[in-house]
């Protein structure tokens, strides 16, 4: 990478380097989700001593923590899987077009077992501090279980949407509530039975859009508190038959190569504004009926031209008006003020239709703000809502939250959270200036959450693996990104964002 490389001190034996109570490793990996498992596999292929520390009681990362009802991936299962092993690709059978959280968790546990990764994964262990020692040129890592580890490389595979980044709004009176409350990314392992209850869901982002239809079918009454309406495309989920999977598996390599070189919103070379209106409408209708995130790729100019984007956004708005029978409720559900695609669109199953149910009420908190949580429910400026349970679907401190939850200190004792106070700067989304031998998988600035995450993870893991081999072949002890390189990368990303509509998201 653009940056500095230096040769370290003369190698010493393990006994000379060990200190009492300290584990000596080549690499520490933080997190045992898609990124951490593949990173561990890659490190072991290279003959490196590595250990994964995982805060949860099982592997799975995002798909361990996000086990709320209805949790499901918005990328098709046949694409949302590893490609590093052809045998794994061919032997695993997915059951649905869009995989559910339980199925994804089974898949990741299968991977951990199939490749014998568990002996090097330490569960129920949270990394609390990591400091770079400029004398030994190694990372000194500490955990909440008292582990002391010295490693040449620190690799953060903590994920963009992990439990460490939970955000529960600080509503006045939350501690007085007499019922139960939950957050979607820290759901009880044994589940929750809402049968006969009066339930509130606060938040209508991706988690809310998935959980609301499921709870509505259980609860006696569901009240949804919405701040920002979201664009959402129907998933059209369905079981996958054996013939479809056999045919798909014959072109896995071709498909993966395409995904590595394109955004997963598969595009159309035609432009919305140069297509006759009736043909344009037919294209939107066909994509809507097909379902899934490919709707954003209906035309090639949707993400770079506001007028073109308006044609797609208006189509979705009309679909909402057609689905939701109460015109007033439909208008409250319609997204306005930002382009379609400025935020990753939700993919849903019966979300808008849920508001046709007699037991579902929509509250617009822009009109009637939440004032406090009371012992018996939620009080807005318009009155009280009596509740038995509250579900917070309020999202995450995404991208940086789980990283900055660790006290990370680089050269001269500089803290990463101070360096990133004005915003994160990571070269390629993978390395931070002043933090030698620290790598981030799908970090800020990388495609990450606007891509097929597994494809982006594989690219980062393979880049990190190649970089470590480059260092080892040349006897290099450290590498780090240059400040100027990180800045140039950030400016390039900002330029790309401004070329589209992304910076206009609220």
Q: Could you tell me if residue 211 is left (phi over 0), alpha (psi between -120 and 50 degrees) or otherwise beta?
A: alpha
Distances (CA, A) of 414 to 298, 409, 433: 46, 5, 11
- What pLDDT score does 16 carry? 34
295/408 same-domain check: no
- Segment 305-308 long-range contacts (CB within 8 Å, at least 24 positions apart): 305/271, 305/272, 305/273, 306/339, 306/501, 307/273, 308/271, 308/272, 308/273
Residue 126 lies in a domain: yes
- What pLDDT score does 198 carry? 98
Q: Which of 181, 184, 180 is nearest to 165 (CA)?
A: 184
Residue 407 lies in a domain: yes
Query: Which range marks the domain in which residue 245 is found?
Result: 174-392
266/361 same-domain check: yes
Residue 258 lies in a domain: yes
- What pLDDT score does 13 carry? 33
157/181 same-domain check: no
CATH code where residue 467 lies: 3.50.50.60
Q: What is the rounded CA–CA span in Å between residue 384 and residue 379?
A: 4
Residue 153 lies in a domain: yes
Beta-bridge partners for 263: none
Per-residue pLDDT of the chain (506 residues; tens, 9 = 90+): 554 444 333 233 333 334 457 899 999 999 999 999 999 999 999 999 999 999 999 999 989 988 999 999 989 999 999 999 999 999 999 999 999 999 999 999 999 999 999 999 999 999 999 999 999 999 999 999 999 999 999 999 997 655 444 567 889 999 999 999 999 988 998 999 999 999 999 999 999 999 999 999 999 999 999 999 999 999 999 999 999 999 999 988 887 777 766 554 545 688 999 999 999 999 999 999 999 988 988 998 898 889 999 999 999 999 999 999 999 999 999 999 999 988 878 999 999 999 999 999 999 999 999 999 999 999 999 999 999 999 999 876 666 778 888 999 999 999 999 998 888 888 888 899 999 999 999 888 777 766 788 989 999 999 999 999 999 999 999 999 998 988 888 888 788 777 655 445 44
132/278 same-domain check: no
- What pLDDT score does 7 carry? 36
**Domain termination site, one of 350, 373, 392:** 392
- What pLDDT score does 336 carry? 94
- What pLDDT score does 15 carry? 36
Distances (CA, A) of 127 to 38, 147, 374, 405, 421: 19, 9, 36, 9, 21
**Contact assessment for residue 176 and residue 373, using Cβ atoms and an 8 Å cutoff:** yes
437/352 same-domain check: no
206/315 same-domain check: yes
Residue 6 φ/ψ, nearest 5 degrees: -140, 150
Residue 431 lies in a domain: yes
31/145 same-domain check: yes
Q: In 402-433, which positions are buried (b, 16+ CB within 10 angstroms) versus exposed (e)?
A: bbbbbebbbeeeeebeebbeeebbbbbbbbbb
Token output for 436: 């030698």
- What pLDDT score does 496 carry? 73
| Helix and strand totals (H; E) in the chain | 16, 20
Beta-bridge partners for 407: 129
- What pLDDT score does 505 carry? 46
155/259 same-domain check: no
**pTM to 2 decimals?**
0.89
Q: What is the rounded CA–CA span in Å between residue 460 and residue 462?
A: 5
372/403 same-domain check: no
Residue 362 lies in a domain: yes
**Domain termination site, one of 334, 361, 392:** 392
232/359 same-domain check: yes
228/376 same-domain check: yes
Secondary structure (DSSP) of 324-384: -SSHHHHHHHS--SS-TTSSPPEEESSHHHHTTSTTEEEEETTTS-EEEEETTEEEETTEE
Pairing of strands 50-53, 360-364: unpaired
Residue 40 lies in a domain: yes
Reduced 3-state DSSP string for 66-99: CCCCCCECCCCCCCCCCCCCHHHHHHCCCCECCC
Reduced 3-state DSSP string for 110-127: HHHHHCCCHHHEECCCCE
182/263 same-domain check: yes
Structural domain count, the chain: 2
Residue 2 lies in a domain: no
Q: What is the rounded CA–CA span in Å between residue 485 and residue 462?
A: 21
**Domain termination site, one of 392, 412, 433:** 392
């Amino acid at each position: 990478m653009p940056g500095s490389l230096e040769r370290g001190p003369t190698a010493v034996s393990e006994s000379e380097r060990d200190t009492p109570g300290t584990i000596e490793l080549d690499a520490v990996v933080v997190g045992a989700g898609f990124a951490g498992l593949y990173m561990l596999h890659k490190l072991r292929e290279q003959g490196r001593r590595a250990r994964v520390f995982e805060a949860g009681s099982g592997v799975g990362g995002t798909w361990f923590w996000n086990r709320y009802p209805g949790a499901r991936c918005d990328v098709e299962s046949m694409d949302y899987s590893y490609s590093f092993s052809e045998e794994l690709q061919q032997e695993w059978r997915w059951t649905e077009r869009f995989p559910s959280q339980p199925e994804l968790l089974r898949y990741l546990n299968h991977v951990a077992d199939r490749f014998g990764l568990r002996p090097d994964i330490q569960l129920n262990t949270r990394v609390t501090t990591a400091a770079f020692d400029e004398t030994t040129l190694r990372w000194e890592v500490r955990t909440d279980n008292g582990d002391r580890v010295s490693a040449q490389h620190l690799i953060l595979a903590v994920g963009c949407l992990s439990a460490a980044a939970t955000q529960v709004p600080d509503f006045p009176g939350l501690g007085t509530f007499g019922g139960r409350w939950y957050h979607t990314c820290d759901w009880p392992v044994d589940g929750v039975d809402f049968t006969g209850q009066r339930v509130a869901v606060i938040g209508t982002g991706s988690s809310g859009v998935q959980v609301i239809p499921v709870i509505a079918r259980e609860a006696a009454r569901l009240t949804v508190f919405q701040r920002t309406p979201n664009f959402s495309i129907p998933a059209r989920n369905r079981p996958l038959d054996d013939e479809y999977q056999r045919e798909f598996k014959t072109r896995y390599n071709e498909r993966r190569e395409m995904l590595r070189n394109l955004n997963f919103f598969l595009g159309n070379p035609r432009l919305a504004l140069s297509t006759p209106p009736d043909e344009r409408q037919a294209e939107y209708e066909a994509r809507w009926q097909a379902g899934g995130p490919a709707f954003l790729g209906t035309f090639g100019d949707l993400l770079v031209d506001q007028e073109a984007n308006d044609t797609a956004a208006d189509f979705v708005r009309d679909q909402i008006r057609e689905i939701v029978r109460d015109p007033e409720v439909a208008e409250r559900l319609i997204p306005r003020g930002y382009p379609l695609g400025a935020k990753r669109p939700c993919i849903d199953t019966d979300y808008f239709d849920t508001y046709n149910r007699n037991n579902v009420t929509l509250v617009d908190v822009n009109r009637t703000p939440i004032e406090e949580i009371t012992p018996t429910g939620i009080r807005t400026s318009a009155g009280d809502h009596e509740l038995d349970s509250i579900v917070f679907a309020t999202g995450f401190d995404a991208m940086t939250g789980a990283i900055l939850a660790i006290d990370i200190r680089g050269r001269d004792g500089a803290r990463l959270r101070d360096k990133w106070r004005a915003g994160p700067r990571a070269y390629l989304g993978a390395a931070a200036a002043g933090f030698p031998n620290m790598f981030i998988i799908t970090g800020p600035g990388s495609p990450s959450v606007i891509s097929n995450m597994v494809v982006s993870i594989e690219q980062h893991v393979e880049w990190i693996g190649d970089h470590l081999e480059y260092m080892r072949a040349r006897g290099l002890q450290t590498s780090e990104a240059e400040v100027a390189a990180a800045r140039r990368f950030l400016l390039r990303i900002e330029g790309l964002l401004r070329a589209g509509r992304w910076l206009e998201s609220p």
